[in-house]
């Protein structure tokens, strides 16, 4: 018995709404859109911080926000909850991306991963050397890691703007390089910018990790069940003196890459429930039996995808269109009139900008050339023009670079200078990359036309 209305009998307003939501869903999963929103948030922060309402900009992020329950209440600034709290979710997605790539992506095989690893290493070493060369002073030198990371959202979004003329393998190479960059950035944060570590905090974090492992072992598939132990890991790392956002990376790497084992395959569960409902009209009138079958369908639907894919997909929109733009809005607002760029601050700004716009492409292209000379091979469809494009786009460091700068510089003047360097260097890298990409695509098209 079919209890569904034919499609043509649905109200016209509902049909139009379904089409609109489907179009919006596709739109929100275009990488370039997320990068555009991030750029708009950064521009809004700069305009706000340099307008007549600049005082309200700074006052907003210093507002105290109480979070907790009962006697367990923490009062921190809104800026803290964004940078140390919400950004943990961003790092959770980063951790899951790393986990997926190691399991079945560009990092799953040694021969595939070797070239992006070498290229990423070059893209870390060269910018750091350029920065240190301009900032040998120990205080300013703390920012050597600021220009070493690539912003995945911006870089992949910029590549997406170039359209279908870009080979798939080139996109995979950029994604792998950016993910390895993130791994290196996470390790730098953990080992360079964490000090005065407390053992008691690590004990609390370890307890949270054991709780996560226990929930996985007994077959708990609901993501909400992992929020309390995840919060415990975050709290433990905060207590330890390590940066609490590292909790997101740890939990992301622990996310299972296979669905939870069930007594019967999910598709078989769905088929069985549908057959039972189709064969019995009484089943539609028994609400208790309907609830039971609805729970079965919910479990089957949940376990059709592995948790690492399901959770990452669910969080994508929140991170790309909520957390990252909010982070940019809270941290990109630099007052140009009161930035206090003395000689030391100017050196920081110049060092970061040059390291991103020049050091990144030099490091990535140079390391790739050396690796090929030593026996590595470029993937099919990737030319040296494409490698140059990847090197230029790798200089877009926005999110991770600003995040690292806040850890490296407690001094406000040096921090503002580093942020200006990040914004200028990332913008230059994006413009150079897009300009080169358009020229490269046209050249490839002409060569294809000349040799059909």
Residue 67 located in a structural domain? yes
Residue 20 located in a structural domain? no
User: What's the CA gap between 69 and 363, in Å, rounded?
Assistant: 49
Res 167: pLDDT: 79
**Does 288 share its domain with 378?**
no
Residue 227 located in a structural domain? no
Other beta carbons within 10 angstroms of residue 203's beta carbon come to 12
**Does 250 share its domain with 271?**
no
User: What's the CA gap between 333 and 423, in Å, rounded?
Assistant: 11
Total residues belonging to the chain: 452
Res 16: pLDDT: 65
- Judge whether 382 and 132 are in contact, CB under 8 Å: no
**Does 168 share its domain with 41?**
yes
- Judge whether 355 and 425 are in contact, CB under 8 Å: yes
Res 82: pLDDT: 92
Res 121: pLDDT: 94
**Does 320 share its domain with 377?**
yes
Q: What is the CATH number of the domain that holds 336?
A: 1.20.1530.10
- Judge whether 332 and 298 are in contact, CB under 8 Å: no
The pTM assigned to this predicted structure is 0.79
Residue 212 located in a structural domain? no
Domain holding 61, by residue range, is 29-194+243-259+308-450
How many domains are there within the chain? 2
**Does 283 share its domain with 346?**
no
Angle (CA) 332 333 335, round 5°? 130
Distances 445 to 1, 164, 194, 451, 452 between C-alpha atoms, Å:
56, 11, 49, 10, 10
**Does 318 share its domain with 281?**
no
**Does 283 share its domain with 376?**
no
What are the residues facing 175 on neighbouring strands?
none
Instruction: State whether the Cα torsion 243-41-356-252 is positive or negative.
Output: positive
Structure tokens at 110: 């040694």
Res 223: pLDDT: 87
**Does 60 share its domain with 180?**
yes
Residue 23 located in a structural domain? no
> What is the residue-level pLDDT of the chain in tens, covering all 452 positions?
444 445 456 676 666 666 666 655 555 555 567 777 888 888 899 899 888 888 899 899 989 888 766 666 777 889 999 988 998 998 898 888 888 888 887 677 777 778 989 999 999 999 999 999 999 998 999 999 999 888 877 787 788 777 767 777 888 888 888 888 888 888 888 888 876 678 888 999 999 999 999 999 998 888 889 999 999 999 998 888 888 888 998 999 999 988 888 778 878 887 887 777 777 665 566 677 777 777 877 777 787 888 898 998 889 888 888 898 899 899 888 877 655 566 678 899 999 999 999 999 999 999 999 999 988 888 887 889 999 999 999 999 888 899 899 989 988 889 999 999 999 999 999 999 989 988 888 887 776 666 65
Number of helices and strands (H, E) in the chain?
21, 2
**Does 300 share its domain with 355?**
no
Closest CA relative to residue 118, chosen from 165, 183, 44, 177? 177
- Judge whether 425 and 357 are in contact, CB under 8 Å: yes
* Token pair 């890691």 in the structure block, residue: 145
**Does 292 share its domain with 249?**
no
Res 42: pLDDT: 87
Residue 15 located in a structural domain? no
CB-based burial, 40-78: b 16+ in 10 Å, e otherwise: ebbebbbebbbeeebeebeebbeeeeeeeeeeeeeeeeb
Res 1: pLDDT: 44
**Does 274 share its domain with 422?**
no
The DSSP line for 379-431 is PTT--HHHHHHHHHHTT--HHHHHHHHHHH--SHHHHHHHHHHHHHHHHHHHH
Residues 6+ apart with CB under 8 A from 346: 417
Residue 324 located in a structural domain? yes
**Does 359 share its domain with 424?**
yes
Res 141: pLDDT: 92
Closest CA relative to residue 405, chosen from 425, 435, 389? 425
Residue 217 located in a structural domain? no
């Amino acid at each position: 018995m079919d209890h569904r209305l034919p499609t043509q009998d649905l109200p016209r307003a509902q049909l139009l709404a379904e089409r609109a939501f489907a179009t919006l869903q596709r739109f929100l999963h275009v990488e370039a859109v997320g990068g555009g929103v991030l750029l708009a948030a950064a521009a809004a922060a700069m305009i706000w911080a340099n307008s007549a309402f600049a005082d309200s900009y700074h006052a907003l992020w210093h507002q105290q926000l109480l979070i907790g329950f009962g006697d367990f209440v923490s009062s921190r600034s809104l800026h803290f909850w964004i940078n140390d709290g919400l950004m943990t979710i961003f790092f959770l997605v980063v951790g899951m991306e790393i986990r997926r790539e190691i399991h079945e992506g560009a990092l799953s095989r040694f021969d595939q991963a070797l070239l992006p690893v070498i290229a990423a290493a070059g893209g870390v070493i060269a910018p750091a050397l350029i920065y240190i060369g301009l900032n040998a002073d120990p205080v300013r030198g703390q920012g050597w890691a600021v220009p070493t990371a690539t912003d995945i959202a911006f870089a992949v979004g910029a590549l997406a703007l170039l359209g279908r003329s870009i080979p798939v393998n080139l996109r995979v190479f950029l994604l792998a390089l950016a993910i390895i960059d993130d791994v290196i950035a996470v390790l730098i944060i953990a080992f360079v910018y964490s000090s005065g570590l407390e053992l008691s905090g690590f004990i609390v974090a370890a307890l949270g990790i054991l709780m996560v492992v226990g929930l996985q072992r007994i077959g708990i598939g609901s993501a909400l069940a992992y929020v309390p132990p995840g919060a415990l890991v975050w709290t433990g790392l905060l207590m330890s003196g390590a940066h609490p956002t590292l909790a997101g990376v740890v939990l992301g790497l622990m996310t299972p890459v296979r669905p939870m084992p069930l007594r019967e395959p999910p598709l078989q569960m769905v088929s069985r429930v549908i057959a039972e409902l189709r064969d019995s009209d009484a089943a539609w009138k028994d609400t208790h039996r309907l609830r039971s079958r609805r729970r079965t369908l919910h479990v089957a639907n949940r376990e059709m995808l592995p948790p690492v894919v399901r959770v990452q997909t669910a969080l994508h929109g929140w991170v790309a269109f909520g957390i990252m733009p909010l982070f940019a809005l809270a941290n990109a607002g630099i007052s140009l009139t009161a930035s206090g760029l003395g000689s030391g601050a100017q050196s920081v700004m110049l060092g970061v900008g040059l390291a991103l716009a020049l050091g990144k492409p030099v490091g990535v292209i140079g390391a790739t050339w050396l690796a090929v000379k030593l026996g590595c091979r470029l993937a099919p469809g990737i030319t040296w023009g494409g490698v140059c494009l990847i090197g230029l786009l790798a200089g877009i460091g926005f999110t991770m670079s600003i995040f690292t700068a806040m850890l490296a510089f407690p001094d406000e003047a040096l921090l503002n200078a580093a942020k200006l360097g990040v914004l200028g260097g990332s913008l230059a890298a994006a413009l150079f990359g897009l300009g080169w990409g358009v020229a490269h695509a046209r050249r490839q098209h002409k060569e294809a036309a000349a040799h059909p």
